[in-house]
Amino acid sequence: MVFVNLNLSRQLRRLMSNKPQCGAGERTPLINGETTSSADHCHTVLPRQRSGALAFFLDTNHTPGRDSRSSVVRSLAYTWHVAKVTLLSSYVNFLLVMVPLGIVAGASNWNPTAVFTINFFAIIPLAAVLSFATEEISIKLGETMGGLLNATFGNAVELIVSIIALKDGQIEVVQSSMLGSILSNLLLVMGMCFFFGGLVHRGENGAGTEQSFSAAVAQTTCSLMTISSASLIIPAALYAVLDKNGFDEKRQSIIVLSRGTAIILLLLYVLYLVFQLRTHSNLFDAEGQAEEAEAEPSIGAISAAAVLVVVTILVAICADYLVGSIDDIVESAHISKAFIGLILIPIVGNAAEHVTAVVVALRDKMDLAMSVAIGSSIQIALGVTPFLVIVGWVIGQPMTLHFETFETVAFAVSVLVVTYTVQDGRSNYLEGAMLLGLYIIIAVAFYAAPSDAMDKVTGYIRS
């Protein structure tokens, strides 16, 4: 899940569930194996008897053999139970069949297009499983530590892909993917939430209504996004001044500025974590979540941690093959690395949460939808991107905050448009259409621009 606190994660799971609120458990698997009966306007969940085969394969609440006297049988049954609950935790997990196929494709040196495509679809369900395991551990850790864990692993897929690309020297892809993750949340996800939520809740003709959300939270987060926008504009402005004056040490000056700025942004991100999780958590208590019952984990914390480790390794393997095929894709398909990083790679790690945000917007839970969209953007802008600058510093890659000029302008304009859109705390489908329109315009612009037409200043700065 994106950067949300633990209560928000629970609320999202509850809203995505088909179970009734009264008497229902906290998590609804794909096949829950339960029936309900109505009494006093409240549903009581009653277990349904199932055959051994169905319980073994499809019942996420019970697995035969877990109460066996044999420790071997119990261990095997519990291992299968954890795997079953994990596999049935999300609808996108049917794409997990792509994981072994993607590894085989990469190891066997298949066609680069096939390697890229298969591993692209393989990482999508791995991101969903990573989110599931993170939430399971968060429940056991409590409010503050659980929220911090969500913040740490919220964009783990993007971070893993970016570190591998950075190690491979694909700095242009890293910068584009960071910017693309921010823009996809600010424009695409928020635009879809405003558009589809606004259509469903538009009111009667001639007496239209708007959806509402916390304007105070939106303004705070947009202010942080403005700071992150300034952190990209200032290096670009400094480079332009140094280049105009014929200064020969432009490269070193931009690197020093970027690394210093990255440290400051990381400190601001830590303060934001304290602000959201500790001192002003009431401002982010969307939909009165504090009054809700405690969630119960589906699997143990140790099992969830094991799933987290295994999935992280698989993501790293698939990401390695995906990044390794980018150069061949650019050459054969004649598309720029900027387009791959800006549009395609963000889809990998954000597909599941994008759907979640739109669904809760359709149910008129706009505070939750806004937390998903803007919260993830802040995490990328203030946390992941400056962290990658520091990682590049450590491994000897000149990753900087001096993005390509067109990328910097697109980001600054997007933040400006979003700030004006959310400042009143209300939304409608027209505003959603405007945000979607801007995202499509940016995507088309990067698709139309050939890679060799972009300024080669995205990391390896020209001297």
DSSP state of 94: G
Q: Which pLDDT score is estimated for 113?
A: 86
The CA distance from 322 to 98, in Å, is 13
Q: Which pLDDT score is estimated for 17?
A: 47
- Rama region for 285: left / alpha / beta (φ>0; ψ in -120 to 50; rest): beta
Q: Which pLDDT score is estimated for 192?
A: 92
The CA distance from 45 to 23, in Å, is 6
In the chain, the domains with their CATH numbers are 6-30+89-453 (1.20.1420.30)
Query: Do residues 33 and 46 touch, judged by C-beta distance below 8 A?
Result: no
DSSP state of 287: G
Query: Do residues 461 and 358 touch, judged by C-beta distance below 8 A?
Result: no
Residue 223, exposed/middle/buried by CB under 10 A (0-12, 13-18, 19+)?
exposed
Q: Which pLDDT score is estimated for 239?
A: 87
Beta-strand (E) ranges in 386-445? 426-427
Query: HSE on the CB side for 153, CA within 13 Å?
Result: 26
For residue 54, how many other CB atoms are within 10 A of its CB? Answer: 13
Specify the pTM.
0.76
Q: Which pLDDT score is estimated for 74?
A: 74
Q: Which pLDDT score is estimated for 458?
A: 43
Q: Which pLDDT score is estimated for 302?
A: 84
Tokens read off for 15? 């809203």
Q: In tens digits, what is the pLDDT along the chain, a chain of 463 residues? A: 334 444 455 555 555 444 444 443 333 344 334 444 444 444 444 444 455 566 566 666 667 766 777 777 777 877 887 888 888 877 788 888 999 999 999 989 888 889 988 998 988 888 888 878 877 887 776 655 665 566 566 677 778 888 988 988 888 888 888 888 889 888 998 999 999 999 988 877 777 788 888 877 788 888 888 999 999 999 988 888 888 877 777 888 899 999 999 999 999 999 988 888 788 777 776 544 434 445 566 777 788 888 888 888 898 898 888 888 888 887 777 777 778 888 888 877 677 667 778 888 888 888 888 877 887 888 889 989 999 999 999 998 989 999 888 888 999 999 999 988 888 888 999 999 999 999 999 999 888 877 666 544 444 443 3
Would you give the end-to-end CA distance of the chain in angstroms? 41
**Nearest to 409, CA basis, from 372, 449, 369, 373:** 449
Query: Do residues 229 and 415 touch, judged by C-beta distance below 8 A?
Result: yes
Q: Which pLDDT score is estimated for 141?
A: 67
For residue 151, how many other CB atoms are within 10 A of its CB? Answer: 24
The CA distance from 87 to 94, in Å, is 8
Cα distances (angstroms) measured from residue 150 to each of 3, 130, 131, 136, 193: 6, 10, 8, 10, 22
